[in-house]
Amino acid sequence: MPAARHRATAAPTRERIVTQAERLIAAKGVYGFTLRDIAAPLGVQVPAIYKHYKSRDDVLIEVSRRYIGQLATQFAPRPGLAPAAALRSALKDFVDLMMLNPAYARLALVDFATPGGGMEYVKLAAGGSFQDNFMGGPLAAMHRRLQALLADGIRAGAFRRVAATDLYRLVKAALLIRLVFPDDAPLARRPSAAEVRAAQRWLWDIASRYLAPDARRAVR
CA distance 160 to 212: 6
**Structural domains counted in the chain:** 1
Is 218 within a domain? no
Q: Is residue 219 part of a domain?
A: no
Residue 23 included in any domain: yes
Position 170 in a domain:
yes
In a domain, 83, yes or no: yes
Please state, in angstroms and rounded to a whole number, the distance separating the CA atoms of residues 83 and 157: 10
Residue 141 located in a structural domain: yes
Ramachandran class of 74: left when φ > 0, alpha when ψ lies in -120 to 50, beta otherwise: beta
Give the CATH number for residue 141.
Answer: 1.10.357.10
- Answer whether residue 130 is part of any domain: yes
Q: How far is CA 192 from CA 20, 29, 176, in A?
A: 22, 21, 17
Domain of residue 173 covers 3-211
pLDDT tens, per residue, the chain with 220 residues: 444 444 445 578 999 999 999 999 999 999 999 999 999 999 999 999 999 999 999 999 999 999 999 999 999 999 999 999 999 999 999 999 999 999 999 998 888 877 876 678 888 888 877 777 777 788 999 999 999 999 999 999 999 999 999 999 999 999 999 999 999 998 988 999 999 999 999 999 999 999 999 755 544 5
Cα(131)–Cα(205) distance, integer angstroms: 28
Judge whether 220 lies within some domain. no
Element containing residue 166 per DSSP (H, E) = helix 164-180
Global pTM value: 0.87
